[in-house]
Copies of this chain bind each other. A is one copy, B any other.
Amino acid sequence: MVNAESAVSKATVSRMPAYLRYLKGEAGKGVEYVSSAAIAKDMGLSAVCVRKDLALVSSRPGKPRFGFEVRLLIEDIEKFLGYHRWTNAVIVGAGGLGRAILSYEGFDNYGIHVIAAFDNSPAKVGAVGGKPIYPMERLGDVVKRSDVKVCILTVPRSAAQEACDQVISAGINAILSFAPVHLRVPEGVKIKYEDLAVSLAELCGA
């Protein structure tokens, strides 16, 4: 309630990327306007919820009888989420998953620049998809020179805590970990777990 950003609920923020994905799909089909009811139906939400969410981020109100302007809404959401500011990221762990992510196509749309990968094993050093893979020793340098803010951790479970510590001491304080283990991090370091198995299990059970 202190500033404008915290007035938007967490739940709303977490739905924004889904709106964005949906709206980009519609825009790609040439749709210019879309109503809250239509969005709600396609995305499995209530229309009221959609309206309330969009009202919080849209720079122009929706038009009665038409709905929201798709292109404008996309811009507003991207601005709201900060996707216009570029953030540099690196990958630590150049195994199968790390290399796959290194050549993943989707990051550029979200203001994220994956600039390189790092690995302990000299055998992995080289490049994939035009992006370099360096030995771990160079992590600190690259982080400082390129102002890297985020790390994607794709090392095996057993190496995760050690790699995590190295990443933090290199100056990174936001980590997205694919290793299915709880990592100990000092206060102030943000960590998020991307557990494929959990995602899948939720899907089965829900």
Contacts and interface: CB of A to CB of B under 8 A. Distances in A.
Q: How many copies of this chain are found per oligomer?
A: 2
B199 A112 contact: no
Contacts of A190: 203, 206
Contacts of A193: 18, 21
A83 B150 contact: no
Q: Could you say which interface size class chain A belongs to?
A: 35 or more
A198 to B, nearest CB: 4
A77 to B, nearest CB: 12
A202 interface: yes
Contact of A196 (B43, B107, B111, B198): B107
Given A97-B104, A100-B99, A203 B195 contact: no
Interface string A79-110: 00111000101000001110111011111011
A96 B106 contact: no
Contacts of A203: 150, 174-176, 190, 192
Nearest to A16: B198
Given A95-B100, A196-B104, A197-B107, A82 B205 contact: yes
Contacts of A109: 180, 197
**Closest 5 pairs (CB-CB, A-B):** A96-B100, A110-B197, A106-B180, A97-B100, A25-B182
Interface of A: 14, 17-18, 21-22, 24-25, 42-43, 81-83, 87, 89, 95-97, 99-101, 103-107, 109-112, 149-150, 152, 156-157, 174-176, 180-182, 184, 190, 192-206
23 contacts: A17-B198, A21-B180, A21-B181, A21-B193, A21-B195, A25-B181, A42-B182, A81-B205, A89-B200, A96-B96, A96-B99, A97-B101, A99-B100, A100-B100, A105-B180, A106-B195, A109-B197, A110-B198, A112-B197, A150-B203, A150-B204, A174-B203, A192-B203
